[in-house]
Amino acid sequence: MLYIVIAFLFLAIVLYFLLGGADFGAGIIELFTSDRNKDRTRKTMYHAIGPIWEANHMWLIITVVILFVGFPDIYSNMCTYLHIPLLIMLLGITARGTAFAFRNYDAIKDDKTQGFYNRIFVYSSFVTPLFLGIIAGSAISGQINLQATSFMDAYIYSWLNWFSVTVGLFTVALSGYLAAVYLIGETEDDNERQRFVRKARIMNILVVIFGGLVFIAAEIENIRLAHWIFGNAISLTAVISAAISLLVLWLFIYYGKKKIIRVFAAFQVTMILLSVGYTHFPNLIMVKGGQNLSLLANHAPAKTIEDLGLGLLIGSVLILPSLFYLFYSFQKKNELV
């Protein structure tokens, strides 16, 4: 049952990256769209994510719940040593979620308040994945120091280092890239599609640049990232297949395929997560000078894992089909309209 729970944990994390990440990405795309085209982009975006965005963010809740029920040591250490980035991420989530809902449900759509919501929405869409990335980066960076005695060592340097920050920027670029690729298939307007293709290209370049920076930062901080990723067959295969699928994706875009490319983009992100996740498994949090926090060693008692696994299995029977139907029906109806 422990492995089922762990599988759900990874599933929730991957889906949050793919779906929640694309949501943040939509805000990032909006941030980098010229004023002339903003309204149009906003409309397409709303059309695409309106019905599903609340559900997309539930994966974060599922992740947190699995962590605190099943792996309480890991959760409480994360919450203690990454308190500050978690707090900033929460601010981002709050600002973003409410601004998105408010701008759609404000009964009077005057420019002044709409502009206000838009600004909050786009900036928080940038900040939230940045800090999500920083948190993820910090978890694997090995900079968390359980023996720290000073405030700076315990609560600041655990996450404020070159590696975590570049992982944050990489996450932002990845979110923007996902959103741009998803949005290519959401519009029937050729000019707009060209715009999204351009955005996807820029974001793709940024992904590569920031990915490179992550490696450089890892060198600076003495993190053996290259070894993690190229040092074992599965991680290496994952990265290589992501790279190959990137070429295929641009080929498909060139030939005007709009929907299938999403699968490739999602595949690439999943492969990146897989390559990092696999090399560290079963450890989830690397710590400085101590025992890493492991999913296989630091879990809740067997009875809890048993019940949690059962709850997740039953829950997924209810959630996954209805979620699938939600995506399906709005995708289909959007095509008809």
Partner 1 sequence: MNDFIAARSQMAISLGFHIVYSCIGMVMPVFMAISHYKWIKTGNPVYKNITQAWSKGVAIFFATGAVSGTILSFELGLLWPKFMEHAGPIFGMPFSLEGVAFFIEAIALGFFLYGWNRFNNWFHWCTGIIVGISGIASGILVVSANSWMNSPSGFDYVNGQYLNIDPVKAMFNGSWFSESLHMTIAAFAATGFAVAGIHALMIARKKNIQFHTKAFKIAVVFGAAAAIIQPFSGYLSARNAARRQPAKLAAMEAYFHTRQYAPLVLGGVADTANKKVKYGIEIPGLLSFLVNDNFKNPVNGLDKIPVKDQPPITITHLAFDLMITIGSAIMLIGLLYFVALWKKRSWLSKKWFLNLFILSTPLGFIAVEAGWTVTEVGRQPWIIQGVMRTSEAVTPMPGIHYSFYLFTVIYFTLSIAVIFLLSRQIKMVPQLYDKVN
Long-range contacts of 107-110 (CB under 8 A, 24+ apart): none
Nearest to 7 by CA among 285, 277, 291: 277
Locate 245 and state its tokens: 């699928």
Binding mask 23-52 for partner 1 (x = CB under 8 A): ---------------------------xxx
Stretch that binds partner 1, among 20-28, 131-139, 223-231, 320-328 (CB under 8 A): 320-328
The distance of closest approach from Cβ of residue 118 to partner 1 in the complex, given in angstroms and rounded to an integer, is 15
Query: Which of residues 104 and 194 has its CB atom nearest to partner 1 in the complex?
Result: 104
330 binds partner 1 (CB under 8 A): yes
Query: Which of residues 97 and 211 has its CB atom nearest to partner 1 in the complex?
Result: 97
221 binds partner 1 (CB under 8 A): no
Which helix (H) or strand (E) covers residue 285, if one does? strand 283-285
156 binds partner 1 (CB under 8 A): no
What is the DSSP code string of 32-96? TS-HHHHHHHHHHHHHHHTTTHHHHTHHHHHHHHHHHHH-HHHHHHHHHHTHHHHHHHHHHHHHH
What is the DSSP code string of 80-115? HHTHHHHHHHHHHHHHHHHHHHHHHH-SS--HHHHH
Binding mask 67-96 for partner 1 (x = CB under 8 A): -xxx-xx-xxxxxx--x--xx--xx-xx--
Residues that bind partner 1 (CB under 8 A): 50-52, 54-55, 57-58, 60-62, 64-66, 68-70, 72-73, 75-80, 83, 86-87, 90-91, 93-94, 97-98, 100-102, 104-108, 151, 154-155, 300-301, 303-304, 307-308, 311-312, 314-315, 318-319, 322-323, 326, 329-330, 333
